[in-house]
Chains A and B, each alone.
Chain A
Amino acid sequence: MTAIDLQQAAPTARGGRISGHRILFHVTAVLVAAIFLVPLIWVTLASFRPTAVSMQPPIPPWPGDNATFENYIRLENFGQSILHYTANSAIVAIGTAALTVAVALLAGYGFSRFRFPFKPLAFILILSTIMIPFQSILTPLFLLLANLGLQNSLFGLILVYTTLQLPFSVFMMKNAFDSVPQEIEEAARIDGIKGMRLLWQVMVPLVLPGMVTSGLFAFLNAWNEFLAALVLLSDQDKFTLPVLMTAVRSGRYGAIDWGAVQAGVTVMMIPCLILFLILQRSYIRGLTAGAVK
Chain B
Amino acid sequence: MNFRTLTSSFALATLGLGALPGIGAAETFSLWVRSDGSEFMPPLVEAFNAMGEHEANLQIVPVDELVQRYAIASAGGSAPDALSLDLIYTPAFAEAGQLRDMTDFAQGLPYFDSLSPAHLSVGTVNDRIFGVPFSGDASFLLWNKDLYEQVGLDPEAGPTTWAEIADHASAISELGDETYGFYFSGNCGGCNIFTFAPLIWATGDSMLSEDGRTAMLDSDGTVAAIDFYRGMVNEGLVPAGSQTDSGANFFAAFANGNVGISPSGSFAIGALNNNYPDLNYGVAFLPGQDEGQFSSFAGGDNFVISAGTDDSKIPAIEAFIEFAYSLEGQQILVANGAVPVRSDLAEDVFEGLDERYLISAEAMANGRTPYTTVFNDIINSRNGPWITTLNRAFFAESEEEMMQAIEDGQAEMQAIIDAAY
Contact = CB atoms under 8 A, between A and B. Distances in A.
Interface of A: 55, 79, 142-143, 145-146, 149, 151-152, 231, 234-237, 247, 249-256
Given A149-B4, A235-B73, A235-B78, A254 B59 contact: no
Contacts of B76: 142, 145-146, 151-152, 234
A152 B73 contact: yes
Given A55-B256, A237-B59, A151 B77 contact: yes
Interface string B141-155: 000000000000000
B73 A253 contact: no
Interface of B: 2-4, 35, 38-39, 59-62, 64-65, 69, 72-73, 75-78, 80, 185, 246-252, 255-256, 271
Instruction: Give me the 6 closest cross-chain CB pairs, A-B, nearest first.
Output: A254-B251, A251-B248, A255-B252, A151-B76, A254-B250, A149-B3
B78 A254 contact: no
B62 A250 contact: yes
Contacts of B248: 249-251, 254-256
B73 A234 contact: yes
A174 B61 CA distance: 45
Given A79-B59, A79-B60, A236-B61, A252 B73 contact: no
Contact of B247 (A151, A237, A247, A254): A254
A143 B185 CA distance: 35
Contacts of B60: 79, 236, 252
Contacts of B77: 146, 149, 151
Nearest to B241: A256
B139 to A, nearest CB: 13
B247 A251 contact: yes
Most chain A beta-carbon contacts within 10 A, residue among B61, B75, B76, B185: B76
A256 B241 CA distance: 12
19 contacts: A143-B75, A149-B2, A149-B4, A149-B77, A151-B77, A151-B78, A234-B76, A235-B78, A237-B59, A250-B64, A250-B247, A251-B247, A252-B60, A252-B62, A253-B38, A254-B248, A255-B249, A255-B252, A256-B249
Given A79-B59, A149-B2, A253 B252 contact: yes
Nearest to A145: B76
A195 B60 CA distance: 52
Nearest to A147: B77
Contacts of B4: 149
A152 B75 CA distance: 11
Contacts of B255: 255
A240 to B, nearest CB: 15
Contact of A234 (B78, B185, B250): B78
Given A152-B73, A152-B78, A235-B73, A253 B246 contact: no
Given A146-B76, A234-B72, A253 B59 contact: no
Given A143-B75, A146-B76, A152-B78, A235 B249 contact: no
Nearest to B78: A152
A250 B250 CA distance: 11
Contact of B35 (A142, A143, A253): A253
